[in-house]
Amino acid sequence: MSYTGPDFDPPQPRRLRRGPLTVALAALVPGALLGWVVYEAVGGGPGGEDRTASSVPSAPASSPGDDGRPSAPAAGRPDSARPLTGMVVVVDPGHNPGNFRHTAEINRPVDIGTNRKECDTTGTSTNDGYTEARFTLDLAHRLRTLLQRQGATVKLTHDGDGPPWGPCVDERARIGNTAHADAAISLHADGSAAGNRGFHVILPGSVHAGAADTRGIVGPSRDLGVRVAGGYRRETGEPPSNYLGGGTGLVTRTDLGGLNLSTVPKVFIECGNMRDSKDAALLTDGAWRQRAAQGISEGIVSFLHGS
């Protein structure tokens, strides 16, 4: 692009002398041309087009906010680090450490839909006196911690600091229903004969009688149970029961009030046989209980996350 303006004399061939104005303008021309080139290069031309856009990387979609912190996930987008955010899990530690001192209260019959059954029982124990109620409460605390790390709201049916007995089986179911739990699990350990060992997960059968109607939860409860069984076996190495469930680790029952009266997906897990020496050695070991909690947690997360 050429420039012509007032008082500019094009150079003449073989001219030996130039006037003062010519010399001054000649000195200014390179600067003017350089300024125009820079102006155009940085986007100062018409429309503000960035001439160097192809050489400047665009900011990533997840670039930090103005305060330097990563931008929050968009509304409705799940937080991959806490996939259970907004979900509710009810954990039911089987029995209560104080039940054995309140036999009259726990023997009171309650309606479980199909019939009437005692409010609760004392549970079992190892031959050395480690009770099922102590085991389930410890396991529940470990499981709660793991699920909370995943973002879940976790409610326990009892926490060892409330009434010295119960709650009754119908109330345990009601706690999950009232919470509109996305999943519920009742933790237990069995008291079968020595030599019988392994775990099993109890699924609700189809019941429609009195206050009980499990027809809507049978399918999702089975899905939950299968996933819990898989996670539990993988993390603990505990085999499926050799005395119930035909080696599948899954048993369906219609005589448990905690399942019959549930309106949310729910299963029981019998974590092992407290009367078998091999299982008892595991159930009484804190490090193993942590693995048990991890396996159960993985099953619940898988169920709720749909993965």
114 and 257 in a single domain? The answer is yes
Residue 45 has pLDDT above 90, yes or no: no
280 and 202 in a single domain? The answer is yes
Containing domain of residue 145, as a range?
88-305
133 and 257 in a single domain? The answer is yes
Let me know if residue 93 belongs to a domain: yes
Domain count across the chain: 2
pLDDT at 136 (0 to 100): 98
- Of the candidates 241, 230, 235, the one whose C-alpha atom is nearest the C-alpha of residue 289 is 235
Say which of 132, 171, 270, 298 is annotated catalytic: 270
For the stretch 148-186, pLDDT in tens is: 999 999 999 999 787 899 999 999 999 999 999 999 999
User: How far is it, in rounded angstroms, from Cα 125 to Cα 134?
Assistant: 9
Let me know if residue 53 belongs to a domain: no
pLDDT at 131 (0 to 100): 98
39 and 126 in a single domain? The answer is no
28 and 104 in a single domain? The answer is no
pLDDT at 307 (0 to 100): 67
In the structure encoding, which two tokens stand for residue 289, read together?
């209980």
103 and 252 in a single domain? The answer is yes
29 and 170 in a single domain? The answer is no
Let me know if residue 273 belongs to a domain: yes
Let me know if residue 52 belongs to a domain: no
pLDDT at 135 (0 to 100): 98
More confident residue, 292 or 23: 292
pLDDT at 161 (0 to 100): 80
Let me know if residue 83 belongs to a domain: no
More confident residue, 197 or 20: 197
116-118 and 153-156 strand pairing: unpaired
User: Which CATH number do you get for residue 260?
Assistant: 3.40.630.40
pLDDT at 81 (0 to 100): 80
pLDDT at 297 (0 to 100): 98
Residues 279-285: what's their mean pLDDT? 98
User: How far is it, in rounded angstroms, from Cα 39 to Cα 34?
Assistant: 9
36 and 156 in a single domain? The answer is no
Largest pairwise CA distance in the chain = 126
For the stretch 79-136, pLDDT in tens is: 668 999 999 999 999 999 999 999 999 999 999 999 999 999 999 999 999 999 999 9
35-39, 95-99, 301-305: segment of lowest average pLDDT: 35-39
The count of C-alpha atoms lying within 13 angstroms of the C-alpha of 249, restricted to the half-sphere facing its C-beta, is 20
User: How far is it, in rounded angstroms, from Cα 101 to Cα 270?
Assistant: 24
pLDDT at 56 (0 to 100): 31
pLDDT at 79 (0 to 100): 60
52-61, 105-114, 235-244: segment of lowest average pLDDT: 52-61
127 and 40 in a single domain? The answer is no
Let me know if residue 63 belongs to a domain: no
Known active-site residue 270:
yes
Let me know if residue 253 belongs to a domain: yes
101 and 223 in a single domain? The answer is yes
Residue with tokens 């020496």: 277
CB contact set of 240 (below 8 Å; sequence gap of 6+): 198, 199, 200, 229, 233, 247, 248, 249
- Of the candidates 286, 279, 190, the one whose C-alpha atom is nearest the C-alpha of residue 239 is 279
In the structure encoding, which two tokens stand for residue 147, read together?
């699920």
